[in-house]
Amino acid sequence: MGAIAVRNTATTLLAPNERTRFDTFGQGYYRGLHRDSVEQLLRDLRMHSADVVVISAASIGPRDAVRLATVVREFPRIPAIAVLSSYSSATAQTVLTLGRSGVRTVVDVQTSSGWSELHNLLVADASRLLERAAVAMVAGELPNATPGCLRFFDVVFRRHGGVRTVRQLADGLSISASTLMSRFFRANLPAPKQYLAVARLAHAARLLENPGASVSSVANSLEYSSPQSFGRHLQLFMQLTPREFRRRYDGDGMLETFRQELVIPHKEHLRAFDPLLTC
């Protein structure tokens, strides 16, 4: 069996022994960006997008409540998970601090089963909600669509895995890029590049729902070559600046744009279309 590609990035505030356990249980599924203070964690989130925040109860105190609350307020779409690896007289106060800061998920990791529970939470992290919502939307609009058609939309909306170009999209479908484009053209459908571009902007809109996320960090997370490249992409497909885009669209709004522009007008063609089969 080949190696499993790392899909998730977790920004953490953990004790040294907790970092080791975290990396062991997450190997192959997520990587930890380990930080030493809430301030470093917040700065990291503002500069680089992450899928989840993991905080140790042993690494924070009552004075951290305000900064933790800032993390939750500025990045509401990034799940924040606390771990308890030991109990002490200060544990109850620490849990209260976490609750006041807006952290709602606490996992007891004193045993291996607790680390396994944390692992399962991270593998099913909330950043994939948009992908699942998109595929469910397409399936609802296209009942009885071919397996190849549904697979196409699944690959189009994958945020992780390096699907950024039509060539990479075709590789994900195990066909050549020229064949993929030709089949869409013959089926009288929009070009694959258009589906991919708008799906990518849906992910951008979801990330920009976090007030603390900068345009630069979102561009980096989605592997645009630069913030300027992201801006040009927005201007080309939406005729908007990043600031205007952020004000007008969230993730759900861009999914609706995708549905209205790329699915509904082409329902009849899409229902019978299978990009994996020769027409």
Contact, 155 vs 173, CB < 8 A?
yes
User: Which tens digits make up the pLDDT trace of 227-242?
Assistant: 999 999 999 999 999 9
Q: Does pLDDT of 1 surpass 50?
A: no
Closest to 218 (Cα-Cα) out of 228, 231, 233, 208: 208
Domain residue spans of the chain: 8-124, 128-271
Q: Locate 65 and state its tokens.
A: 């409540």
pLDDT band at 123 (very low <50, low <70, confident <90, very high): low
Give the alpha-carbon dihedral of 11, 12, 17, 23, to 10 degrees: -30
Quick one: CA dihedral 231, 232, 238, 240, positive or negative? positive
* Number of CB atoms found within 10 A of residue 202's CB: 26
The class that CATH gives domain 8-124 is: alpha beta
Q: Can you give the pTM of this predicted structure? A: 0.71
At residue 160, the pLDDT reads 67
Distance CA(207)–CA(246), nearest Å, equals 10
Mean pLDDT for all residues in the chain = 87
CATH code, 128-271: 1.10.10.60
pLDDT band at 3 (very low <50, low <70, confident <90, very high): very low
**What are the angstrom distances between the C-alpha of 238 and each of 26, 57, 73, 200, 279?**
38, 44, 28, 12, 32
- Residue 59: what are its φ and ψ, rounded to 5°? -105, 5
Q: Does pLDDT of 152 surpass 90?
A: yes
How many residues in the chain?
Answer: 279
Report DSSP letters for the chain, one per residue. Answer: -PPPPP-EEEEEE--HHHHHHHHHHHTTTEEEEEESSHHHHHHHHHHS--SEEEEEGGG--GGGHHHHHHHHHH-TTS-EEEEE----TTHHHHHHHHHHHT--EEEE-SSHHHHHHHHHHHHT-GGGHHHHHHHHHHHHHSTT--HHHHHHHHHHT-SSS---SHHHHHHHHTS-HHHHHHHHHHTT---HHHHHHHHHHHHHHHHTTSTT--HHHHHHHTT-SSHHHHHHHHHHHHS--HHHHHHH--HHHHHHHHIIIIIGGGHHHHHT--TTS--
pLDDT band at 278 (very low <50, low <70, confident <90, very high): low
pLDDT band at 161 (very low <50, low <70, confident <90, very high): low
User: Which tens digits make up the pLDDT trace of 20-35?
Assistant: 999 888 776 677 899 9
Distance CA(274)–CA(198), nearest Å, equals 20
